A = this chain, B = another copy of it.
Amino acid sequence: MDERSELVSICGAEPLSLETALAPCPQFSAATKCETCRLRALSFCGAIDPGELDVLDALSTPMAFKGRSMLFEQGADADAVYNITAGVAMLSKVLPDLRRQVIGFALPGDFLGLALNQKNVFSVEAVTPLEACRFQREAFSDFLDARPPTMRRLYSKASYELTLAQDQIVVLGRNSAEERLASFLIGFRNRWMRVNGNRLYVALPMRRQDMADFLGLRLETVSRVMSRLVRQKLIAIVPDGVRLLDVARLEELAAH
């Protein structure tokens, strides 16, 4: 194992380019610039005056994480916040007896650490290889106080997350296993469509267990219900995801 892969295994993150490999573990010099970032329109940083992007660049540290590595852990000090630029992350909480609930999935453009709390109230794990801009929490908070339009944008993101969470409360409180699956597939597809317009193929990089923990079900139930949806010709299971065969019927099941 060479020095670089050792670094990777320790912090779960890897540099964006070989040139930065020897920098101290979580500190990588910027390989990308905000100016050229294709995700800016979707992210909180879309509210920033283009002339001021270099200020943000100075605060931001681009990072890359391997699939299944942890970005941060529930209960640990929240020293940083992240803006996801590529890949999928999974937010989860674990009860004292190890029951796990997945709170949500974060996609490119999503922000981790909206609450700016001192301690993380959930864990975040990369589901796929993942790229994100990292900011020191304190410095980022100061930056926000000086930029009301950016704070407003982040406030909007928080509001949106709140409505997503409330929708999930409805799903968990009142939907059957089949409705939960449909709601997850449609919801995940709709959020991906903002990033990548594909309407019928839904990539599912997470495991059945992760879906189960998100939907308040057991993985066997997820597997069974998926099979049932296939038998009903609502979906087809394809490598690394599903193809939606009857979106109308699925949306009806997902019901809003």
Contact = CB atoms under 8 A, between A and B. Distances in A.
A59 interface: no
Q: State which size class the interface on A falls in.
A: 35 or more
A121 B103 CA distance: 20
B163 A95 contact: no
Interface stretch (A20-28, A123-131, A147-155): A147-155
A9 interface: no
A169 B162 contact: no
Interface string A130-162: 000000000000001100100110110011111
Contacts of A121: 163, 166
A208 interface: no
Interface in A166-200: 166, 168-170, 172-174
| Identical subunits present | 2
Contact of A155 (B122, B151, B160): B151
Given A152-B145, A162-B115, A168-B169, A174 B255 contact: no
A203 interface: no
Given A170-B101, A255-B96, A162 B158 contact: yes
A182 to B, nearest CB: 13
